[in-house]
Structure formats: structure tokens, C-alpha cells
Amino acid sequence: MSNGPSDTLPRAEALVRTLLMQRSGEEWFMMAADMFSAARTLMEASLREEGLQPGTAEWKLRLLERTSGDEISPAVRRRLIERWRASDAARAANEAP
């Protein structure tokens, strides 16, 4: 499983690999979904520490950057940002006294 030095016994590593390979497609999917959920929770905690408010355009943009990186084309990214900022502006206008 690893390419570098390891403190794991080769037979233990082989056993873990065997057990992982026996998992069904559904189990692999659930494992990946759980890992993504844990990563997203950490990202959201980091954004809160930076003082960002959940649901704002800046929050959504930063979360998109951390989860998708360069996978989103610049054109799609611009459209999303415009939509999110318009939504923020509309929300602010509705909340104004």
C-alpha cells in the first residue's frame, strides 16, 4: 500500500489491504462519503475561525476553492460568484429596516 518506509508489518499491511478489497461498492461509496463529510467539517471550522459567515458568497467561494480547486472553469466560477453575491445583496435588502 505504501511506497516509502513504514512501521507497519508487511503481513499486517497485506491483511488491511485484503479486508479493504473485500468491501462492496456500496461500502466503498459510504467510506468515501464519510471521509468527504469529515473533510468538509474541518474546512467549515477553518472558515469560521477566519470569521466568515456560513451561507455568504465569500463562504461559498472559499468552500468551492477548497473542495474543487481548479476543477471548476473560470467562466463557471464567475457565474457562481455573481449568483452568490446577488443572493447576498437581495438578502441584505430584505433584512434592511
pLDDT at 40: 96
> What are the tens digits of pLDDT across the range 59-75?
999 999 999 988 999 99
Cβ neighbours for 8, distance < 8 A, ≥ 6 positions apart: 2
Residue 72 main-chain phi, psi, to 5 deg: -95, 130
pLDDT at 95: 85
> What are the tens digits of pLDDT across the range 1-55?
556 778 889 999 999 999 999 999 999 999 999 999 999 999 999 999 999 999 9
CB 63 within 8 A of CB 47: yes
pLDDT at 2: 52
Would you give the distance in Å from CA 37 to the centre of its chain? 7
pLDDT at 52: 97
More confident residue, 35 or 92: 35
